Chain A
Amino acid sequence: MSGVPQALEGVTVVEFGGYAAGPWIGKVLANYGAKVVHVESRDRPDGFRLQYPPYKDGKVGVNRSGCFSYFNDSKYAVTLDVKKPGGVELARRLTDWCDIVIENMRPGVMARIGLGYEVLKETNPDIIWLSSCNMGQTGPRAPTGGFGSQLSALAGFTGLTGEAGGPPMLLYGPYIDFVAALVSAPALLAALDKRKRTGEGAYFDVSQYECGLSFIAGALFDYHANGRIAERAGNDDAVAAPHGAYRCRDEGWLAVSCWSDDEFARLASAVGRPEWADDPRFASAAERRANIAALDEGIEAWSAPRDAAEAAVALQDARVHAYRVNTMADLFSDPQLGHRRTWRVRRHGEIDDQAYYFPGFDLSETPGDIPGPAPLLGGDNAIVFREFLGLTEEEYDTHVANGVI
């Protein structure tokens, strides 16, 4: 772990659950200095360890999943079986130790295994607790379990994505889980700040569905205020024209948009069609939109033989909004992301070198980092239970013998 002072130094977090919605919060907190313990059991490891590719060399194994690893860098992992005698008590020692608990089980599961908020609060009265699930802990559909990939449809995202008249489009992965994690995580730290002042903890009931809606809040407002129902419309925009993606060389694509008549004139020159600037068909955004086919054809004639990254530079040099449509591979060679050190390679116990994502914000005094790779299943049992919790060697060995650890 790095020696630079970090913002969340001394903050301790325990996670129950798996997949993305809960663990993504812990990952980001760990990147800025929090000590985060990810709890699994040997019988039921995190679903991302075994259910989704990529695996190192394509071979499945609990410690070979790049998917799990990508969402859990910089944490400690323990295996703890709460169904074995003494298991619940040991879990409670963990929750007594930490500042923050994050869980993303179905509503009621934590209480059923004896780890409900009300119970844990008895021995850790100022604990800060976040429960995240599809629908929230209350309401007629509270018991719904489900995947973020499908919840993204209920929350409006997929229906707003795709060509007008065509079907909705899939989003990669559990899109809404990351929304929920990022809009709710600030609340945890606000609660921590309040606790320093008042000594009080807090319980957060987070519905991933509701969190997702905060990313389409403008469209929802527009419906409530004006009755307008937003529809998918490909890449069209109400203000800018042109506004779209254009084919480039080697299956690349270039995103381009024009937000004023002046910018359009600059685009026209940059793509070798200066006469467009005086063409009445393109005199305003509305006219450009009405005659977009001719523009699209002209822009693509310019872009098609060009490399997308070079085309973007040419347009930006002319002060036109443009960027290569980065593929996943492109994200690793993007010069701006390189400047920010977005990818940080750490050596994982079985996967070997893996590039981990550093979040999109840099702090000037406490810069954050990827302090370590993702943990192996149960790989930190000794350090967490012996060092952090202070179990004696005998206690620890008993738990191991009982199959709790």
Chain B
Amino acid sequence: MLGPYRVLDCTGPLGWLTGRLLADLGADVIKIEPPGARLDDPGWRANNVNKRLLTLDLGDEAGRDAFRRLARDTDFLLESAAPGSAAAGLFDPDILIAANPKLIHVSVTPFGRTGPHAEWLASDLEMMAAGGAMSLAGEPGGLPVRVSVAQSYGWAGAQAALGAMMALTHRAATGRGQHVDVSAQAAVIASVAHAPASWDLLGIDSTRAGAFMTGRSVHGANYRVFWPCKDGYLNFIIYGGFAGQRTNASLVSWMTEAKAELGVLAEIDWGRFDPTQATQAEVDAIEDPIGRFFLTLTKAEFLDGAFDREMLGYPVFNVADIAADPQLEARGYWQDLPGPGGRAERFCGGVAIVDGKRLALVRPVPSAGEHSREVLGEMGFDSAEIDGLIAAGAVGVPSTLEDK
């Protein structure tokens, strides 16, 4: 879909996903890294597959000149230079767009390029704290915890890709590029769902809920969300409503088939059960036999059993469980490409199946300097110029670089 477009990707972790999403949509994404950059980080490899690699030292004046020339002949520039840094000076949107009026310049930074905190230091931890996500994860009243592995990169990177595509839509209509200024902090707010609305409308400051669902019962009863099972945890909740009633009834018939002890469950008419009216003692009595039944199941058994019975609920998967999930296999999700030493590397596939075909990964992870000559040649540098840049150390090619 984006076949006609060239992307220069100078980002760090905050923008890796942006380039990956555009590459998966067909753009020619050229990742720029300095000589000696570490290319073995799992996050780097996972998000920089499907791109070409130009090894170019932007700290070197000859390298900067070469970059300015490349930027005049490109459709998108992605960068995540810290505002106020020397690199941010190179990535000045006013100057770059003046030289190339069709350029779509995307800056992905923790707080955006301007504002009182623009130059503040932030890693994923601070970005997730600043965007509100951390205050909603952890035990009630206890330590706020980070959400999973680094997530701010995803939130910022995805919104940056969307902003880039909006700018492209405008460019297609007018011929003009523009600057897209992404704030990871503001992007992370998308992850907290409608919690801000409770503060805005009712003055209720929603907070972290631990492993239990709170606030559903008028008697203040808490419902368990995470249940230990044979090999980990399950996510299951006693819901009301149509789907909840069906789920609860299906669970009881499953327990009956399995000859599990039912306790109070044998007596409950789920059609009349209303979770908003239950007391903690009633909830505990319901959850006790369920908890003992779940201890007899593996995550995989629960997943299959719940699916067969059209029940709500999923196991808490880890990466190994996800890797073995037949659903992903059946949809051709995993993409295998050759890696270092001839060993295959496995990647998450493109985010959609388009007209029956998975968005494809066509390029393995590039190695240092792999496409330097090719890219510079395509973009109008003659071989004497390229050799000069290599001799000056501004450009790296495989023969001058140790492949890490």
Contacts and interface: CB of A to CB of B under 8 A. Distances in A.
Contacts of B345: 221, 224-225
Interface stretch (B52-60, B255-263, B310-318): B310-318
Given A151-B314, A190-B2, A230 B167 contact: no
A369 to B, nearest CB: 13
Contact of A190 (B1, B122, B144, B194): B1
A52 B355 CA distance: 35
B40 to A, nearest CB: 9
Interface string A222-266: 111110011110110100100111000000010101010000000
A105 interface: no
Given A8-B166, A326-B130, A196 B172 contact: yes
B290 interface: no
Interface residues of A, number: 146
Most buried by A among B150, B154, B200: B200
A211 interface: yes
B154 A205 contact: no
Interface string A285-326: 000000000000000000000000000000010011111111
A396 interface: no
A155 B44 CA distance: 20
A71 interface: yes
B281 interface: no
A211 B313 CA distance: 19
Interface string B209-234: 11111000000000001101000110
Interface in A1-43: 7-11, 20, 24, 28, 32
B318 A159 contact: yes
Contacts of B166: 7-8, 32, 189, 363, 366, 368
A58 B203 CA distance: 11
B167 A363 contact: yes
B131 to A, nearest CB: 7
A170 interface: yes
B47 to A, nearest CB: 6
Contacts of B127: 323
A24 B235 CA distance: 24
A116 B4 CA distance: 31
A327 B135 contact: yes
Given A154-B314, A363-B180, A214 B163 contact: no
B-side interface mostly? mixed
A168 B316 contact: yes
B294 interface: no
A360 B126 CA distance: 16
A360 B110 CA distance: 10
Given A326-B135, A364-B178, A331 B196 contact: yes
B384 interface: no
Contact of B180 (A190, A257, A357, A362): A362
B125 interface: yes
Nearest to A328: B199
B120 A202 contact: no
Contact of A323 (B114, B130, B330): B130
Contacts of A173: 192-195
Given A216-B149, A218-B149, 5 more contacts: A7-B166, A169-B138, A193-B169, A323-B126, A366-B178
Interface of B: 1-2, 4, 17, 20-22, 25-26, 41-47, 93, 111-112, 114-118, 120-123, 125-132, 134-139, 143-151, 154-156, 158-170, 172-173, 176, 178-202, 204-213, 225-226, 228, 232-233, 235, 237, 241, 243, 303, 307, 310, 312-320, 322-323, 326-328, 330-331, 333, 339, 345-349, 351-356, 359
Interface of A: 7-11, 20, 24, 28, 32, 51-56, 58, 66-67, 69-71, 130, 135-141, 144-147, 150-151, 153-163, 167-175, 178-179, 182-187, 189-194, 196-197, 202-207, 209-211, 213-226, 229-232, 234-235, 237, 240, 243-245, 253, 255, 257, 259, 316, 319-332, 334-337, 339-340, 342-343, 351, 354-355, 357-366, 368
24 contacts: A58-B202, A140-B327, A150-B312, A163-B145, A167-B211, A170-B225, A171-B147, A172-B208, A182-B158, A190-B26, A206-B351, A216-B149, A220-B323, A221-B46, A229-B319, A235-B143, A245-B145, A324-B129, A334-B130, A336-B130, A340-B186, A359-B163, A360-B188, A365-B176
What 10 pairs between A and B have smallest CB-CB spacing?
A173-B193, A360-B187, A218-B43, A360-B186, A339-B115, A189-B165, A361-B163, A255-B129, A153-B235, A215-B154
